[in-house]
Amino acid sequence: MSNFKYCIWLTPSDGTDEWYSYPNGFEPHVTLFYHLDEHEAVDKLEQIHECDVDVSLVGEPVHSSEDGFHSLYYRVQPTEQPEWWPDNAHVSFYYKYTEVTKQEIDALTRKIKKRRTRFSTIKMKRCEGHFLQW
């Protein structure tokens, strides 16, 4: 299992947003920072002042794989880009510890109807162990 240490996530502003129904057991999020120790994560939280951004999905889902950790994500584009916005920003919707199938990619594509939403909640997450425990 992957160890991303502490991460800073930006999540949709309302926990009832439709985007919360898209992932398989975790919150939809843009990872702003990752592989941080706890002190670094707290410092990053203090640096981010603006956190109200409209985000749109761009293109088709992308599959990535690293050390047995597989993900499906969409690249995203903010309406107005904050100075702290990460390069190659994306929203993850699907994690798995075995290969992702074409059927799973197709199912995610069909599931996603809303391609734009507002993100305004910043969270510090400890991303160690199984992704369902993050």
**What H or E segment, with its residue span, contains residue 106?**
helix 102-111
115: which residues sit within 8 A by CB, 6+ positions away? 56, 57
Which one-letter DSSP state was computed for residue 128?
E
pLDDT bucket at 51, cuts 50 / 70 / 90: confident
CB 106 within 8 A of CB 60: no
Predicted confidence (pLDDT) at residue 2 exceeds the cutoff of 80: no
Does the predicted TM-score (pTM) go above 0.85? yes
